[in-house]
Structure 1
Amino acid sequence: MQAFPHSTTATPAAVVVPPSLALPVIESAFPRRLHPYWPRLQQETRRWLLEKRLMPADKVQEYADGLCYTDLMAGFYVGAPDEVLQAIADYSAWFFVWDDHHDRFVVHGRSGDWRRLRHRLHAAVDAPRHHLHHPDPLVAGFADSVLRLYGILSRTWNLRFARHFHAVIEAYDREFRNRTEGYVPGVGEYLALRRHTFAHWIWTDLLEASAGYELPDRVRKHPAYRRAALLSQEFAAWYNDLCSLPKEIAGDEVHNLGISLITHEGLTLEEAVDELRRRIEECIDEFLVARRKTLRLAHEIDDGTVRGKELGATVRTCVDNMRNWFSSAYWFHHESGRYMVDNWDDRSTPPYVTNEAAGEK
């Protein structure tokens, strides 16, 4: 089935979803949307990756478009101003590159390099302007993208984003230690850790940035809004685990819901896949309930005042984009070269990741 009537790739082709990964409810009930800025977004993020030296020029040329990082963001933050979507997309591309570097640090036992990067990122999220010219491209690129995000809303939002990203860094450190020690976390422990390594609350914060409106605590922390936000992110994280399971088993990974189920619940691989699918499908059903409750909240907030109208409209925009996240994340996993492990020479190492790109000799 084709995700878009007009494909975002240079050579349009139907996307074939393997039966084990197919979710008919997403394909039928979650129509895919794409920000009209997408073609320019792709060009500018490609240019930014080169300018910030985050990927070698030949890898950018060969793989950047096919990784579909910009497609993922353009299908999520629909309605964002072009410059805001660009800042989000560049930050997202950085995040994927950082994740790849983190993997290489683990594989090659480079604990000193990881420790230094961890401390530098903690410093950069608090003072990005002071790190724009850092010699490490990962630090400088991060500082550039974060500084642009910090210019969208208030200092209060910036501090919240920083707090959430500090937690992401520490979760990545926990992953580093788990993988180094060969420790597979239990299911509950893994799910809690995953909410940080997948950056659930970062992507949720960016919904407000894309809408150009900072939500008050009474809305952000409302059970319906928070539940809808959590479920949209859980879906993407668990579906990522389902699609990544072959790659991560091949790479001796320890962080995957399927791996935790096999290790701690005694499930076979086939049973773990079935359980992952069950949780994912349940997540979709529960989101639709939470979405309806959040839309009722938006209606209650819209009390006829100017403030109420603006706030209610922002809540509707945010929850609509949460819904967009389901289809965007789903199709991303079947279009992006990041998950086409059967085409790789080494199923544990993506072809666009090089030793040089990760600072190795």
Structure 2
Amino acid sequence: MNRPIHSCNPEIKLRPGSTLLADKLHLPALNYPFPEGRDSNTDVVEAEVVEWAVRHAFVERGGRGEAVLRSLGPADLVGRMFHRMDREAFLAASIWSAWMFLMEDHFCEAGAYHGSPEGLAQFHLWLREIMTDSHGYDWHPICQAIIRRLPVEYTDLCVRTGEATLDMARRIEKVSSSTQYLRWVEGMTYYFLGTIWQVGVSINSPPPSVKEYLLGRSSFGGGAPTCALADVVAGYEVPPNDYQHVEVRRLRTLVGIIASLCNDLMSFPREIGMIWNLPNILIAQGMSQQEAVNDTVRIHNDLVREYLELEARIRSWAGDGLQRFLHDMGTLMRGQYDWARRQKRYAATDNFFFDTLANPRTS
């Protein structure tokens, strides 16, 4: 018999607001020797993303959900990661960014499928089929099967998610080559795998080791599909053999982990006691809050140094498309930092004394 799906326990659910630490902590310098920037169309695209979410009833106009989405700024995140984008591709990627925020909130770690990895697996397989064949797959029958296993309050939301996923996938497919689009679907599959592991972990489970955590974080952090969209949004294409070269695969994995650790640091005050945050795992091993922050920054900066060494090797043989991709991987990581530091829900500037960025580079 399948296990019932439960609403998330209050101890697990992410807090709706930020938490101020008892004592403000020192955040050592993060190493981002990459250019800062923001696409000039970001504010206009942001407004269109909100309209998309309202139209698909993911959020209610004028309600708290709309306010949270505006505060999150999904287009602001994309616009800071990739500075010069094709207009329609920018909108498609920003809609995907909003879709990720909303879908996770409703269905993943703190949502309907908490404690039910098999239920989330079925849900993700359904979403993946929509993405795989966005013009031929009839998603309604499986949607009805999923609804039968969900609490009644998720019935309409599940249907709206199917409709929104179809629209989002078609937008990305329209601005991608077939190879680029399937790269993104593959990245989403890797992301889905990590979230299934995530929802199966109980608050009473032993915390994972640092290596176990980083393995999962590189998946459910969404790094793979984000990297897959880098050349799509900028209107070029990395040759497939270059994108899948073993050194480029290693580099993309590093990018995903580095961006995730930045998020862990910025969101730490909001997620004290949560298992899916590296400082909390280090605290469970006996470190103080400040020691855990320091060690997370050390791990982060060690990975950035590894990235820079690997990037230099790749640049020695990379063609024009891959050279542009390497530039975009740098702005992706720096953009994650610039976005997260400004997030009101993280309250990072209220909780940390910031050192300046290490070794900034302007071009």
RMSD: 2.9
Question: For residues 42 and 113 of structure 1, do their structure 2 counterparts lie closer, same or farther at Cα, with a shift above 3 Å needed?
Answer: same
Provide structure 2 residue ranges, at least 5 long, that are not aligned to the other structure: 1-23, 144-155, 351-363
CA distance in 1, matches of 2:78, 2:91: 9
Question: For residues 253 and 89 of structure 1, do their structure 2 counterparts lie closer, same or farther at Cα, with a shift above 3 Å needed?
Answer: same
Provide structure 1 residue ranges, at least 5 long, that are not aligned to the other structure: 1-17, 299-311, 344-361
Q: Which amino acid aligns with 2:124?
A: R
CA distance in 2, matches of 1:182, 1:34: 41
CA distance in 2, matches of 1:94, 1:162: 15
Once the two structures are superposed, residues 90-128 of structure 1 have per-residue CA deviations (whole angstroms, 9 ceiling, x without a partner) of 001111112222243269767797466334323322233
Determine if the alignment matches structure 1 residue 70 to structure 2 residue 91.
no
Deviation at 1:315, TM superposition (A): 1.4
CA distance in 2, matches of 1:245, 1:208: 31
CA distance in 2, matches of 1:282, 1:110: 35
Deviation at 1:54, TM superposition (A): 1.4
Determine if the alignment matches structure 1 residue 197 to structure 2 residue 220.
yes
- Asked which structure has the greater RCO (Cα within 8 Å, sep 6+), the reply is 2
Question: For residues 228 and 143 of structure 1, do their structure 2 counterparts lie closer, same or farther at Cα, with a shift above 3 Å needed?
Answer: same
CA distance in 1, matches of 2:225, 2:307: 19
Alignment correspondent of 1:278: 298
Alignment correspondent of 1:104: 110
**Greater Cα shift, 50-59 or 128-137:** 128-137
Alignment correspondent of 1:317: 324
Alignment correspondent of 1:188: 211
For residues 1-361 of structure 1, the aligned pairs below 5 Å read: 20-21=26-27, 23=29, 25-26=31-32, 29-57=33-61, 58-59=63-64, 61-101=66-106, 102-105=108-111, 114=120, 117-129=123-135, 130=137, 135=156, 136=158, 137-179=160-202, 182-249=205-272, 252-263=273-284, 265-298=285-318, 312-340=319-347
Question: For residues 54 and 192 of structure 1, do their structure 2 counterparts lie closer, same or farther at Cα, with a shift above 3 Å needed?
Answer: same
Deviation at 1:341, TM superposition (A): 8.1
Deviation at 1:198, TM superposition (A): 0.9
CA distance in 1, matches of 2:101, 2:289: 27
Once the two structures are superposed, residues 205-249 of structure 1 have per-residue CA deviations (whole angstroms, 9 ceiling, x without a partner) of 111312434433431233543343333322210111112223222
TM-score (norm. length: structure 2): 0.75
Q: Secondary structure of 2:317's match?
A: helix
CA distance in 1, matches of 2:129, 2:242: 30
Deviation at 1:193, TM superposition (A): 1.1
CA distance in 2, matches of 1:199, 1:107: 18
Q: Which amino acid aligns with 2:40?
A: P
Preserved CA contact (<8 Å) 1:207 1:321: yes
Structure with greater proportional helix content: 1
Preserved CA contact (<8 Å) 1:211 1:317: no
Percent identical pairs in the alignment equals 22
CA distance in 1, matches of 2:339, 2:97: 13
CA distance in 2, matches of 1:174, 1:331: 29
Q: Which amino acid aligns with 1:31?
A: P
Preserved CA contact (<8 Å) 1:228 1:319: no
